[in-house]
Structure 1
Amino acid sequence: MVSRKAGAVLVSRAAIALFAIAINIPFVNQAFHMDDGIFLIAAKNVSHNPLFPQDLPVLFEGVSVADLGSTEHPPLTVYFMALCGAIGGFSELGLHLGFLVFPVILGIATHSLAHRFTSHPTMVAIAVLCLPVVYVMSHTLMSDLPLVALWTAAVALFVHGVDSGQLKWIAAGGVVAALVAFISYAGLCLVPLLGLYALLHRSRSGLFLALLPLAAFGSWLVVSFFHYGRFTPSFLLSHYLLVEKVLSPTLISRKLIYALVFLGGITIFPLALIALSKKWRILTGLLVGTLIVNLLPLVADYRFAHKFLFVALFTAGSVAVWEIVQKAATAVYALRERHRPQRRLSDSPLFGELYRNPAPLDDLFLGVWFLGVVVFCVLFYLTGAARYLLPATPALVLLMMRRAEEAVIPKMQPLAIATATFTGLTALGLAVADYQFAEIYRSFAENFAMAHQVSTKTAWFSGEWGFRTYLERAGARQLGRRDPRPQLGDLLIVPTLATPYDTLFSDRLSLDATVLIAPSRVVFDVPTMSADQSLCLTVGMPIHDKSDGVSFIIDFLSPQGRHPLRQTLLLPQDGRRWSVWEIPLTELKGQKGRISFSAAVNSSGNADADWVAFGRAHISETHGSRKEVIYDFLAHFQEARIEPEPGIHYHTPGNNAVFPLTVWLEQQPTKVLLKKHAYRPAWPVRLMDADAHAGFWSMGWGMLPYSISNRDGALESISVYTVCRRVDGYGETNPRWAPTWQIN
């Protein structure tokens, strides 16, 4: 028979579950957003490859990858999405209804922890569900909310098991923690956290079962290694640590500022965080925030309103972290003193109260939970995006509630009401803004075919997020970065915000080129010439803006003498743009010799920045409508003879006069603008905008979690072009272009 107290707890948790569903139901038809589409592609592959659904070729941000096995997200979210799709279809409505289970789990798990650590469990659970970052992420299909929901559930089960001494609950917590590790690599942080709780409460079984996620995840890595033929996290780790340099001091300091501002703005409303802190901490936060506003380039250009908002949020986040650090440090000191019997800690007025009750254990555990997540995010993520901090939010609310219960603050009830009201309104405003933002791409795709009469044309796009998802549904095809497939008359669609990337059709083109600095020459031994051969190359000036022109000479050298092929004075206005040259070699039929490329100083005698670059250089032979490449110059660069001018200092590494280099220059127009679609969501609260670049997602754009739009600037602009010139695809890698995945 259930006791009255236990019955009340069950009723409270049922009410929390209903509350979680009720507040999120209005958003179940939200458009696919951000990375939802990538998870959806893998989920649809479960029926084809149930053991390794991420083993499929895709284009992501224009780069062809063989599989998704090296992402930071193991496939548990993908499996759950596939289950939802099998039950309710892969529509927005069906998937979002299925994902409502995660706010429910989060609410119930938080209530369980709050019942253990505070006197107001229902208030804490509701507060967590209404945090702006939690509420907004509850309407997406990415792994962020499943991560925090199962993370909190694992902690709740494990804590209950250790406290009650029941092995089944400890084991349940370990199993759920293992599931968390299969959502994100960050979930492995639960292992030391659960181990700490078991250690503090002297639970040997807890210490053993806390290792369960490591055992399960390690087994999966072994299986994945034999399937993919590589250690799947290796690419991610090397990219983050060696390429992006996530541990560089500059990037760490920037991410720390992100984290503090977001903690102050999208968790508990700043009023509560500031009210619970001491005045000197508030003043310190205001001072440091003001210095950052005036010194940091990302923030220095903000309008006054945004600067004020930045300082307020930075102060709130700073004092919250400060409070938690002090609480954890005090707990550590108190616990250390407990193990010194020769001293009576209870005689200390500062630590006497801690000595007489178990609060230090709880403060230390919750503090390590919160601070551990923040430190992990600051160290190992690329940006300080708010959603990365999600696993820290339950601990933050629990700690702040414990702080409020200890504090004696006049008019505490009005403060609590004001905090709840403003936090809820902020969450609702951001959720509406996010809904409108996601809707941009669904609306564009639905109207695109009619607006541009695409039935007889192929449409291509370069971008990600929901932009990709809905254009693929409309029949458009993703364009690779070095993809020459679009034909004359095809359509090309490019967003401003949805991670656009450069392609062969961009205004600026990068080529792997050979660079000559005047005066110098490079000579290549070439095969015997035939009548149907021609020399093709693309020419430009890498430092055209600092040059007054350079002579570029191409000769054929043979025992019969020197045969000029082309001599041109490249001027800056011409060299700023790639130009394509095709030189017939008909007159050289049957001759064996060398081709030389020379750069010479023009008549002015000024050699400053006289650089010439030529790329895609090759000799081809025509066979009807087909061309066969006979000789590639860049491929034979190591065999070429480089002839610098004696006595010249070229101011390059090794004093090289000729060297290979990737060069970016403008190219001849490849497309003509048909129409630019500008989208201005009606809701004034913005997750990001074109003026302040305030970004809830951060992504490196700005350092505010939200802003108020008071200008007529478009949030997103989508340009539609028609292809007016075929691009030269010579020398480009030709990967197996990924299939177009239709999302029905």
Structure 2
Amino acid sequence: MPPALSRLCLVLFVFPLILLAYTTPPHIDEWVYPFLAERIAAHPLDPYGGEAVSFGRLVPIFEGVPHPPGFPILLALLGGDTPAHPERARWILLPFLLLFLASLRPLARFFRIEAGWGSFFLLFSPAFFLSAQRLMTDFPALSLFHGALLLLLLPSPRPWWGAVLVGGAIFMRYTFLLLLPIFLLVARRRCAGTGRSSLCLVLLSLLPVLLWNGFSWMRYGATHFGVHLGIVVASGGGVTWRLGALPTFLGGVLVPGAFLLGNGRKRLVVAFIVGLLLFAGVAPRLDPPLGRKGILLAALLCTNALTFLEAAVAEMQRVRQREGEGGILLAWAGLGLAAALVSFMSARALLPALSPLTWLLLRRFAEKGGGRGILALALLVSAGLSLLLGFADRSLAKAHAAFPRHLAADPPATPIWFAGEWGFRTAMTQAGFSPLVDAPGIPLPQPGDRIVVAEGAAPAPIPSPLQGHLRFLRTEVVPSTFPLLLMNERAHAGFYSAGWGCLPFAPAEGEALERFTWYRVEGRNTTP
């Protein structure tokens, strides 16, 4: 990549990233980690004790939080007034971003990728661009893992410090346990070590999470990892849905312009037609049905997914012929996809597989002698889509944050309760409104009180004592000002969770950005 283009890409990445990160209100699950940080600061020897309201229920924190406490501990130490102003704590993500950036050029060289293209395709992927703005564990854990590999690639490798960073990544997200073999493979390639030294690296990497689970066993009577492993096993049926959503997510959030880099145009055309027929058959069964634009988008994303598959198959053939770094990339990609499938399908869940899959695609493109013009066009598609999704995502967060301010401008005469999570919950709670909680001993609305349900904020079902006693008042519709939606069940868009839809993003096609539905509690059944 020419130096001038590289500098331009860096500016186009950094400026919008900082702008969006510091102008987007708290969003999605960002409220969780400041909440945990506040609890850890107040009760350091009981970090996951007590209960919390989650999706309309009182849930034991120990069972409700699936990740180790590494990230909230960091927030407790450095976050300052994080609980009161979660968006201000996003500065904590800056060191992780710098670490990730520092790792890109050495890693690209190790895997024989042109550093400029290999770096910016990662930075401008929708999965990375949006995750790097969120105060959650996905991006920091990925950065620590990249940093661990960077330490192995120094002129004088530092495997022990690398193991410390891998341990930090695992202490933030259990799924990074699956990437520990990749660290060991690179360490074996770079460092002349014995089996005993590899075992010591494993033990050092696992030390934080082993200590945490030993503590949790003594404090709570069970290991935190064991409890959540049991939950994952019990929900094994969800793997089928995650596998079904994998092609569209894989094709949409890593390299959206992958079809431009594909080899074998006839195969790509066939893949597009197959994807088109598949979703044309599935679309009418969805409720509501997937529109024409949605079907075309799904077919294109499936075509992208096939492009990744073709690159992986080509790499397998090269690995059979000779030893090389391609085998490590394939193993990394496979384990990264496994990490997504054992948790839940979403854009951020695919981050562990982002680097290897992108670099496999670029290696295949270079092998076929592809030109820089096509690379630039594919990168432009990724950058443009990431920016569009970033601003569209901010619009939803702003709609949730603005709603209680609108209520404050005209103080209500009767109490108002709400159903909805994420940033909507944060904003409503800070404004003094109460969430609906279906639990013994928790107050519920009385006759005459009003309830507002935010459809696009994962509202919990109305508590059973209120069902049949609500009178519909009105629905306030917030129109979408962008052509794509990220989280909308009606459009089947589930960027942050495939449980919302089979597409990572979807055409708006006149669909509202958000709907706020109002009800009044009455003493008899007046449900329309």
TM-score, normalisation: structure 1: 0.64
122, 130, 141: which one aligns with 2:135: 141
Q: Distance in 1 between matches of 2:163 and 2:267?
A: 39
| C-alpha distance 16-177 of structure 1, shift in aligned 2 (>3 A) | farther
Written as runs of structure 1 = structure 2, the 5 A alignment for 1:242-391 is 242=234, 244=235, 246=236, 248=237, 251-270=238-257, 272-279=258-265, 281-296=267-282, 297-298=285-286, 301-328=289-316, 330-331=318-319, 333-334=320-321, 354=322, 360-378=323-341, 380-382=342-344, 384-391=345-352
Which residue matches 2:396? 437
Indicate whether 1:723 and 2:490 are aligned: no
| C-alpha distance 256-330 of structure 1, shift in aligned 2 (>3 A) | farther
136, 154, 171: which one aligns with 1:182: 171
Cα deviations across residues 391-414 of structure 1 (Å, max 9, x unaligned)? 1112222222322332223xx122
| C-alpha distance 20-305 of structure 1, shift in aligned 2 (>3 A) | closer
29, 32, 43: which one aligns with 1:35: 29
Q: Distance in 1 between matches of 2:134 and 2:241?
A: 27
Contact 1:34 / 1:465 at 8 angstroms: preserved in 2?
yes
SS in 2 for 1:718: strand
Which residue matches 1:57? 51
Q: How many residues align?
A: 515
| C-alpha distance 58-689 of structure 1, shift in aligned 2 (>3 A) | closer
What is the CA RMSD across the aligned residues, in angstroms?
A: 3.0
Q: Which has the higher strand share?
A: 1
Indicate whether 1:447 and 2:440 are aligned: no
5+ long unaligned stretches in structure 2: none
368, 371, 374: which one aligns with 1:407: 368
Q: Distance in 2 between matches of 1:716 and 1:322?
A: 39
| C-alpha distance 207-325 of structure 1, shift in aligned 2 (>3 A) | farther
* CA drift at 1:62: 1.7
Written as runs of structure 1 = structure 2, the 5 A alignment for 1:3-18 is none
| C-alpha distance 684-279 of structure 1, shift in aligned 2 (>3 A) | closer
* CA drift at 1:686: 1.7
Q: Distance in 2 between matches of 1:689 and 1:464?
A: 14
Which residue matches 2:226? 234
SS in 1 for 2:492: coil
Higher relative contact order (CA 8 A, sep 6+): 2
Q: Distance in 2 between matches of 1:460 and 1:233?
A: 35
Q: Distance in 1 between matches of 2:524 and 2:291?
A: 44
- Match for 1:425: what amino acid? G
* CA drift at 1:431: 0.2
Contact 2:436 / 2:463 at 8 angstroms: preserved in 1?
no
State the percentage of identical aligned residues: 24
* CA drift at 1:103: 2.5
Q: Distance in 1 between matches of 2:395 and 2:288?
A: 29
- Match for 1:237: what amino acid? L
- Match for 2:176: what amino acid? G
Contact 2:315 / 2:364 at 8 angstroms: preserved in 1?
no
Contact 2:126 / 2:385 at 8 angstroms: preserved in 1?
yes
Cα deviations across residues 653-691 of structure 1 (Å, max 9, x unaligned)? xxxxxxxxxxxxxx3xx2334443221231222214464
Q: Distance in 2 between matches of 1:52 and 1:131?
A: 38
Q: Distance in 1 between matches of 2:103 and 2:8?
A: 13
- Match for 2:137: what amino acid? S
Q: Distance in 1 between matches of 2:287 and 2:369?
A: 37
Q: Distance in 2 between matches of 1:29 and 1:366?
A: 36
Contact 1:298 / 1:703 at 8 angstroms: preserved in 2?
no
* CA drift at 1:52: 4.1
Indicate whether 1:213 and 2:205 are aligned: yes
Contact 1:13 / 1:111 at 8 angstroms: preserved in 2?
no
Which residue matches 2:181? 192
Q: Distance in 2 between matches of 1:421 and 1:136?
A: 17
| C-alpha distance 48-20 of structure 1, shift in aligned 2 (>3 A) | farther
Written as runs of structure 1 = structure 2, the 5 A alignment for 1:583-598 is none
Contact 1:147 / 1:391 at 8 angstroms: preserved in 2?
no
Larger radius of gyration: 1
Q: Distance in 1 between matches of 2:230 and 2:40?
A: 28
Q: Distance in 1 between matches of 2:265 and 2:13?
A: 36
Which residue matches 1:491? 450
| C-alpha distance 174-460 of structure 1, shift in aligned 2 (>3 A) | same
| C-alpha distance 231-444 of structure 1, shift in aligned 2 (>3 A) | same
Q: Which has the higher helix share?
A: 2
| C-alpha distance 439-225 of structure 1, shift in aligned 2 (>3 A) | same
SS in 1 for 2:461: coil
- Match for 2:224: what amino acid? T
Which residue matches 2:494? 695
Which residue matches 1:686? 485
